[in-house]
Amino acid sequence: MVTKTLPDLIPDTELTLPPQAERKLANGLTVIAIRRAAVPLVEVRLRIPFGRAPLAPATLLSQALFTGTGTMSMLDIAAELQAVGGSLAAGLDPDRLQISGNALADGLSRTLEILAGVLTGAAYPGEEVVTERERLVDNIQVALSQPSHLARVALLKRMYATHPYAVQTPAPQDVRAVEPEALRELHADRVRPGGAILVLVGDIDPEQAIDVAEKTLGGWTGEARDGDIPPTPALQTGPLLLVDRPGSVQSSLRIALPALTRTDPDYAALTLGNLVFGGYFSSRWVENIREDKGYTYGSHSVVEHFAAGSALLAAADVATEVTGPSLLETTYELGRIASLPPGEEELEQARRYALGTLRLGMSTQAGLAGLASVYAGFGLRLDHLREHSAALAAATREQVAEVAARHLAPSRAVTVVLGDADKIEAQLTALTAVERSAQ
């Protein structure tokens, strides 16, 4: 056999940021516009601060926002957006209401007009709201049958206890009790431009796009009620929480660990430590429990950032009969990254991955829009990409080891396992203290 050698990489060119502009409008809305002209589209992302909004009405509001205004029916809104190749939808997370969508670039003005009509005149018509309410209840019922959702619900509760982040999906009975009037009141109270950020990315002239936004959204006014969320509490370790899901043919293993905010000086080192542990396919955790032992289709760990705090979350769905062994290997890998510096080549590989995926993420309009919008939600701008890239490039093995010891140690882990408790409890008890969840 002829041995062939792996070709070298051609070093990356310097990171270039796309042309952009920013303006804070008189009504308090910040508009950021970025030009990437590869396809004649424009991506739209609007984030409105929504922390501490009552969960059931806020969730239903996000689903019913586009059901009609004083002058347009739900059908009109959908059809007129479609006519310019557009689509808009709203979603809710614990910090904000987010409206996302896109349209043909020539349709930017019309899309923003329709958006403005909804922001200033959403009517929440009774019949449509009732329809959306029933649909939302049905969707929550389906979510409650999904192991990934149930495991997350249990983990959030375990991590955040009485903090507002502890419950992120409303109970069906709470949704059923929401009347249209409550949505109108919540909208009047909270769907306001103060503190909101609009990001436009695409085949646009940034300054002109902001002019269009100013013209169409200038009539949206008002200050939102303060919705600041207190900082998240430190994770309280304790027994592994076992959640019973009788008949499960897999166990959902979920672990929370402390993390750092995006702007913490050690964040780049934590990012790299997380990658080496379990944050990408070529991580120790995946190579161990998937590629060596075949316990799982996939495992993944990621730092999740909310406005009031960050956490590192690790997830794997594993075969029921190897639930204990999977936890053992996971604990072993956490202990290893927390006790020993990563290998040089291993760290370089993770570093190149982190730097490369930043570039891949900015190579599309949708990717840029998502990134700019997420960053803006934390008070950052796209130039943070340069700072974060420089920090990733500079982090040493010692720094990674030091931050991993503080954040990835198994003694810091909060662990939840969802599965067929009668089949897995003994496996888990052999390794750690276990507490069954109260149903």
Partner 1 sequence: MASRIQIPATKYPVERFTLANGLRVVLSPDRSAPVVGVAVVYDVGIRSEPEGRTGFAHLFEHLMFQGSENLEKLAHFRHVQGAGGSFNGSTHLDYTDYFEVLPAGALERALFLEADRMRGPRLTEENLRNQVDVVKEEIRVNVLNRPYGGFPWLKLPPVMFKTFPNAHDGYGSFEDLESATVEDAQGFFDRYYACGNAVLSVAGDFDVAEATALIERHFGDVPARPAPVLPAFDEPGLDGERRESYTDRIAPLPAVAAGYRVPDPIGAFDAYLPFSVLAEVLTDGDASRLVERLVQRDRTVTNIGGYLGFMGDEYQVRNPTALLLQAHMPPGGDAGKVLRTVDEELDRLVADGLKPGELERTQARMAARLLQGTDEVLGRALPMAVLELQRGRPGLLNELPKLISEVTAEQIVTAAATLRPESRAVVEVLPGAGS
310-339 positions binding partner 1, by CB under 8 A: 317-319
Binding residues for partner 1, total number by CB under 8 A: 85
Nearer to partner 1, 80 or 266 (CB): 80
Question: Is 248 an interacting residue with respect to partner 1 (CB under 8 A)?
Answer: yes
Nearer to partner 1, 231 or 247 (CB): 247
Question: Is 250 an interacting residue with respect to partner 1 (CB under 8 A)?
Answer: yes
List binders of partner 1 among 54-73 (CB under 8 A).
66
* Encoded amino acid at 67, one letter: T
Query: Comparing C-alpha atoms, which of 107, 128, 113 is closest to residue 65?
Result: 128
Where does this chain touch partner 1 (CB under 8 A) — which range of 51-59, 266-274, 351-359, 381-389?
Answer: 351-359
Question: Is 172 an interacting residue with respect to partner 1 (CB under 8 A)?
Answer: no
Question: Is 360 an interacting residue with respect to partner 1 (CB under 8 A)?
Answer: yes
Question: Is 164 an interacting residue with respect to partner 1 (CB under 8 A)?
Answer: no
Cα distance between residue 351 and residue 357, in whole Å: 10
Question: Is 10 an interacting residue with respect to partner 1 (CB under 8 A)?
Answer: yes
Q: How many helices (H) and strands (E) does the chain have?
A: 16, 12
Question: Is 35 an interacting residue with respect to partner 1 (CB under 8 A)?
Answer: no
Q: Which two tokens stand for residue 282?
A: 């070529």
Q: How far is the CB of 406 from partner 1 (least distance, A)?
A: 26
Grouping H, G, I as helix, E, B as strand and the rest as coil, residue 167 is coil
| Burial (CB count <10 Å: 0-12, 13-18, 19+), residue 13 | exposed
Angle between helices 108-121 and 74-83 (to 10 degrees): 160
Question: Do 237 and 412 touch, CB atoms closer than 8 A?
Answer: yes
Question: Is 106 an interacting residue with respect to partner 1 (CB under 8 A)?
Answer: yes
Nearer to partner 1, 97 or 103 (CB): 103
Where does this chain touch partner 1 (CB under 8 A) — which range of 152-160, 216-224, 259-267, 286-294?
Answer: 286-294
Q: How far is the CB of 106 from partner 1 (least distance, A)?
A: 6
Question: Do 259 and 252 touch, CB atoms closer than 8 A?
Answer: no
Task: Give the Cβ contact number of residue 182 at 10 Å.
Answer: 18
User: Which of 30, 52, 54, 80 lies at the binding interface for partner 1 (CB under 8 A)?
Assistant: 80
Cα distance between residue 220 and residue 114, in whole Å: 12
Grouping H, G, I as helix, E, B as strand and the rest as coil, residue 235 is coil
Q: How far is the CB of 129 from partner 1 (least distance, A)?
A: 12
Helix (H) or strand (E) holding 318: strand 309-319
Question: Is 285 an interacting residue with respect to partner 1 (CB under 8 A)?
Answer: no
Helix (H) or strand (E) holding 124: none
Cα distance between residue 247 and residue 270, in whole Å: 38
Q: How far is the CB of 13 from partner 1 (least distance, A)?
A: 6
Q: Which two tokens stand for residue 344?
A: 């040089």
Cα distance between residue 136 and residue 174, in whole Å: 11
The answer for residues whose C-beta is within 8 angstroms of residue 237's C-beta and 6 or more apart is 411, 412, 413, 414
Half-sphere exposure of 87 (CA within 13 A, CB side): 1
Question: Is 13 an interacting residue with respect to partner 1 (CB under 8 A)?
Answer: yes
Beta bridge partners of 415: 255
User: Which of 21, 41, 191, 200 lies at the binding interface for partner 1 (CB under 8 A)?
Assistant: 41
Question: Is 144 an interacting residue with respect to partner 1 (CB under 8 A)?
Answer: yes
Where does this chain touch partner 1 (CB under 8 A) — which range of 19-27, 352-360, 383-391, 393-401?
Answer: 352-360
User: Which of 19, 27, 30, 37 lies at the binding interface for partner 1 (CB under 8 A)?
Assistant: 37
Task: Give the Cβ contact number of residue 168 at 10 Å.
Answer: 17
Q: How far is the CB of 49 from partner 1 (least distance, A)?
A: 27
Q: How far is the CB of 147 from partner 1 (least distance, A)?
A: 6
Q: How far is the CB of 285 from partner 1 (least distance, A)?
A: 13
Where does this chain touch partner 1 (CB under 8 A) — which range of 30-38, 115-123, 335-343, 404-412?
Answer: 30-38
Question: Is 287 an interacting residue with respect to partner 1 (CB under 8 A)?
Answer: yes
